[in-house]
Structure 1
Amino acid sequence: MLKRSAEQNLRYPVLLVHGLFSSSRTWHKTVTAFVEDYDLRYGGTVSAQPSAKIPPPTAGDFYTWNFSSNHHLTYRQQAEELAAGIEAICALNAADKVVLIGHSMGGLAARALVQLYSADRVYALITIGTPHYGSPLALLRESTQREARNLFTKLTQVLARADAPGEANPGFFRRLARRLFRVTTEAQQELDGFFSSEAFIELAPGSIALEELNRAPLPTAIRYVFITGSLTDFAAFPDPVWIARYRKLNSMWKRLAANTVQKISNRYLFGPYEEFRSYLARYLPDATEYTLAHLTDFDGAVPVLSQIIGHFRDPPLLKAVLPVYASHTRLTKRPAKIFQALAVCGAVGASQRT
């Protein structure tokens, strides 16, 4: 039996799962706060592909996770890797369950695990800024990739003129141009990899992978908490108390961020918004009544309406929503909110480990 101090009071080990094009490092601030402010033991990083550079995990209260690839795995493949990691954590801690906390794509990987494989090892699922119904940004893949490729092509054509093979001692600006040419060529390759990544394609509303998840039964024996982010006024939350609370944050930078999101949304996303609305209507009966303000309540990457599962066939043990005024990438840097989510789902309390 594990000996635990009075301060270490999580019922089950917690696994923090990163999102698209990210890694365990995205949780650095949360790891530090959990250790220093909440007296929790960090068991280390659990990786699908262990590396000599990363110490093996030990018994602990919480862990971070690394997929074998942060963008070339389907949700099913991510779920299979997560399942093996969870078994390792349970063995280290003599526990029969874990709490999964997934940011963005990591939340979909966790859903794939509990819906398509098994929820037996999961006590609670906490998702942070997760696009449960997809992101309209993913619908821009073809047009955005085409525009970006055209820009890179023009830039490389200009820079290629600086490449004079017969010149023995090129000057400073010629050497700089050559260097930029190489960097630009590499960037174009990275761009193609980004837009062709399996995980990014699956984020589009109506994708085969999202349809599989949203049509599959949602286990009702686990607890769900949704941490949502926004850069606007939480138009998706009609509760006047929430609206009043967040309007107090009307600082200059808030207005600037909100205006920027609205301008980008209005310029590029009208078509994708309608596709997103149509996809929502498959699962949420009142989706056709959502206004543009509802659809454009973004955290910078994912609409708030997409960050909350709303189509449970039967009520789960718990369903709670915790809004945060923050951008998508900043959501993992809110340790107090994440710990609050653990408390809300009942994960803070007497240990259930044997």
Structure 2
Amino acid sequence: MKIGNKNLWVILIVLGITLVVVIQVVRHFFREEERQIRTHIREAVKKEYPEAVNQLKAMYGLKPFDQPKTSVKPDAQTSAVILVHGLDEPGKVWMNLAPALVEKGFSVWTMTYPNDQPIIESAQFFLECIKSHSLAKTKNISIVAHSMGGLVAREMLTHPSLSYVEKVDKKELPAVWQLIMVGTPNHGSELARFRIFTEFREQIIGLFNEKYHWIHGILDGAGEAGIDLTPGSTFLERLNRRPHPRNVNMLVIAGTMNPWQKNEIEDFAHNLTVKLPEDTRVAVKEMENVLLSVSNEIGDGLVSVRSAQLTGVPLRIVQGTHLSMIRNIIADSQRIPPAIPIIIEQLHRTLPKNT
């Protein structure tokens, strides 16, 4: 039987997707071994290409967000807002939030880092950047983190070997008084197993940067972060066993693509309970639970509401996808991403009294 070109392409695509799925399933059973192998490869490449390593280092770190048109002059010596991106983020995630914060008078900084490396290494790099930067003289810092950036921040604030609390007590570091996490997979994301597609996107975008080097795809991490993000990973279990960071106001903002909000589902179920016969109440309650569960699991398309929330931390749910809740997909759109007003409100509401 002759197979047409169109059908052949369909078969090849299906086989390719099937192969990726099978590989990801098998990897689940050898996560730590894979992590060690990836780290070994990355370290070997770093020794082989020292110039590329130095070139890449210059691209990372803490940098002020420049918005010269603003009429408000922030006081960086008093407080600062640091924006921390997530995994395989090309850099546009702050295109709407950063200008909005500057317009409100905040001193805004962006933190970029080798996001494919182990999260503990990113956390250590973050701490070193704050300590060695002029921000070390700032009285207090607030962090707004998207996706994995929230885990990097939590790791920096709580990992025993990084000694954040001790350094603050010794006045070696400014105090972080606020952490706002947007779409952070605090309990992991199943889609982290398929991060090869987002890594491919990041490297394609990097090709348009004149400073890009082909080896950067390995030097910025060999995919260890994706393993850390997998639900049940050693990293997540250790992180979530620790208490929340001391004296830090925390807020979780989670997105949902479900057209019905929690209160709308509850109101709908209540109205049915009132109107329908009493013997249908059990069925209505079951329907309500199913709708709420589906809403939580869908989440923003990448991170479920259940994964984002943390015990003892306030939760705000907004309508949107993993990206659209914090930035517009179209650059010239006048839409205000739903997480931005909440972030600004939170920063103002809990502003330290000494600022």
Give the TM-score taking structure 2 as reference length.
0.54
Shift of 1:86: 2.0
The answer to whether the Cα contact below 8 Å between 1:194 and 1:200 also exists between their aligned partners in 2 is no
Partner in structure 2 of residue 62 of structure 1: 108
**Aligned residue runs from structure 1 range 63-142, under 5 A:** 63-67=109-113, 69-71=114-116, 73-88=117-132, 91-92=134-135, 94-116=137-159, 117=162, 118-119=164-165, 120=168, 121-139=175-193
Partner in structure 2 of residue 50 of structure 1: none
Q: Distance in 1 between matches of 2:119 and 2:227?
A: 11
- Residues 200-257 of structure 1: CA distance to partner in whole angstroms, max 9, x if unpaired? 111111011111101122224211111111101466x4xx268669xxxxxxxxxxxx
Q: Structure 1 residues 324 and 88, CA, compared in 2 at 3 Å: closer, same or farther?
A: farther
Partner in structure 1 of residue 326 of structure 2: 332
Q: Distance in 2 between matches of 1:125 and 1:85?
A: 17
Partner in structure 2 of residue 199 of structure 1: 225
Shift of 1:332: 2.7
Gaps of 5+ in 2: 1-70, 169-174, 201-214, 269-289, 328-336
Give the TM-score taking structure 1 as reference length.
0.54
The answer to whether the Cα contact below 8 Å between 1:229 and 1:331 also exists between their aligned partners in 2 is yes
Q: Distance in 2 between matches of 1:94 and 1:244?
A: 50
Shift of 1:15: 0.3
Q: Structure 1 residues 109 and 115, CA, compared in 2 at 3 Å: closer, same or farther?
A: same
Q: Structure 1 residues 190 and 16, CA, compared in 2 at 3 Å: closer, same or farther?
A: closer
Kindly indicate whether structure 1 or structure 2 has the higher relative contact order, using CA contacts under 8 Å at least 6 residues apart. Answer: 1
Partner in structure 2 of residue 283 of structure 1: none
User: Identity over aligned residues, as a percent?
Assistant: 27
Q: Structure 1 residues 138 and 25, CA, compared in 2 at 3 Å: closer, same or farther?
A: closer
Q: Distance in 2 between matches of 1:26 and 1:233?
A: 23
Residues matched between the structures, number? 227
Partner in structure 2 of residue 322 of structure 1: 316
Shift of 1:198: 1.0
**Aligned residue runs from structure 1 range 23-42, under 5 A:** 23-36=90-103, 38-40=104-106
Partner in structure 2 of residue 176 of structure 1: none
The answer to whether the Cα contact below 8 Å between 2:115 and 2:221 also exists between their aligned partners in 1 is no
The answer to whether the Cα contact below 8 Å between 1:13 and 1:93 also exists between their aligned partners in 2 is no
Q: Which amino acid aligns with 2:299?
A: F
Partner in structure 2 of residue 54 of structure 1: none
Q: Which amino acid aligns with 2:341?
A: A
Shift of 1:108: 0.3
Gaps of 5+ in 1: 41-60, 149-188, 246-288, 313-318
The answer to whether the Cα contact below 8 Å between 2:130 and 2:136 also exists between their aligned partners in 1 is no
The answer to whether the Cα contact below 8 Å between 1:102 and 1:127 also exists between their aligned partners in 2 is yes
Q: Distance in 1 between matches of 2:90 and 2:132?
A: 19
